[in-house]
Amino acid sequence: MVDKKEVTQTKEADAKMEIEDIDDKKNKVDGKESSNKNKVEEKKVENAKTKKTKQKEIPKKEVAIANGYSLKISPKQSVYVCRVIRGKSPENAIKRLQDVISEKRPVPMAGLEVGHKKGRGLAGGKFPKNACKAIIEIVKQVWANAVVAGIGNPVITIVKSDRASAPYRRSGQKAKRTHIHIEVREKGDKK
């Protein structure tokens, strides 16, 4: 009677011998195959390096754009908020709008009949918080687009606020809706 341990040991020994035979056959080959494999691997490495350098070169764009459609903010207030951030960098524009939200600095609204606010040379102004919160989100988007476009020192050049088509509410009143369009260019570019 044959023991199960002996059978498994003989099978393992046979498998080891087959593996050693295969390794011996590979070593007996002149080395032509191994040198070919090395050449192929070197070419793959070179191709990978060239692909990485090609991916790093991003074509630089002149303009970065962000839009906000049918925002639930007042078109009248958004016009004055847009005037405040025009000509500023996105970072400074966000700081200025944060000051409005925290009621540190009002948005000047000289054309409207609004109450006077504290500040030198400020006829009248308000703190349009909802409009500022919505416009901050769009400024962040245009800032991210400027980074992707490769614009080094971005400045907000065009900020437009347009009245959007407004739906009716339950009582028959029209709701307020606004479109916002912001363009950013490199500081010093004209247009």
Measured CA to CA, the distance from residue 83 to residue 79 in angstroms comes to: 6
For residue 180, what pLDDT band results from cuts at 50, 70 and 90? very high
Is residue 14 assigned to a domain?
A: no
CA distance 175 to 120: 35
pTM of the model: 0.66
**Do residues 159 and 88 lie in contact, with contact meaning Cβ atoms separated by under 8 Å?**
no
Q: Are 71 and 177 within 8 A, CB to CB?
A: yes
Place of tokens 């000289």: 110
Of the ranges 5-9, 13-17, 24-28, 172-176, which is most confident? 172-176
Q: Which two tokens stand for residue 78?
A: 């958004």
Range of the domain at 67: 63-186
Give the CATH number for residue 99. Answer: 3.90.470.10
Q: Are 138 and 180 in contact (CB under 8 A)?
A: yes
Residue 160 belongs to a domain? yes
Number of domains observed in the structure of the chain:
1
Q: Would you say residue 54 lies in a domain?
A: no
Q: Is residue 145 part of a domain?
A: yes
| Distance separating alpha carbons of residues 32 and 29, to the nearest angstrom | 7
State the residue for tokens 């050693």.
20
Model confidence at 126: pLDDT above 80: yes
- Within-domain flag for 88: yes
Q: Tell me, yes or no, whether 52 lies in a domain.
A: no
